[in-house]
Amino acid sequence: MHNRKISSVIRAQLSEFSLPPITDGLVLGKHSPIGHVAVGKALSLLTTTAFEHLQIDDDVISDVLIRTAILRKASQEQLIKFVLQEIKPLMGSEEIIHLDLKIEVQLEVKQS
């Protein structure tokens, strides 16, 4: 007979699931595993935060889902230009990139 001892150890690392799971937006590649409609439906179930869909005609990027509040600070054109120039070179068409944006608005008011 063998003298053996069997034991199990469970280790876990926990962190809180944050809502919304998307901070400011997502950039979806043309061949990403999930499309903008499915992501939009999931977001509508997980958060009351409003997101806008921006369709992009590109060989790598197909869509951007962006928090509506961001579009009050930057135009769609600015955002699309930024994504195409700065994000596109860093991603593949099968990827989904999470955006955490910092937008600074400068106001100048002339007093008469």
This prediction has a pTM of 0.78
Residue 50 domain boundaries: 25-99
CA 62 from centroid of its chain's CA atoms? 13
- In this predicted structure, what is the pLDDT of residue 88? 96
* Residue 64 counted as domain residue: yes
- In this predicted structure, what is the pLDDT of residue 11? 86
* Residue 9 counted as domain residue: no
* Residue 105 counted as domain residue: no
Q: Above 90 in pLDDT, residue 78?
A: yes
* Residue 61 counted as domain residue: yes
Q: What's the pLDDT band for 52 if we cut at 50, 70, 90?
A: very high
* Residue 109 counted as domain residue: no
The average confidence (pLDDT) of the chain is 89
The DSSP secondary structure of the chain, one letter per residue, reads ---------------PPPSSS-SSEEEEETT-SS-HHHHHHHHHHH-S--EEEEE---SSEEEEEEEGGGGGTS-HHHHHHHIIIIIGGG--TT-EEEE-------------
Q: What's the pLDDT band for 16 if we cut at 50, 70, 90?
A: low
* Residue 29 counted as domain residue: yes
* Residue 10 counted as domain residue: no
Q: Above 70 in pLDDT, residue 47?
A: yes
Least confident of 40-49, 71-80, 81-90: 40-49
User: Tokens 């992501």 — which residue?
Assistant: 39
User: Which residues is 98 bridged to in the sheet?
Assistant: 26
* Residue 14 counted as domain residue: no
- The number of distinct structural domains making up the chain is 1
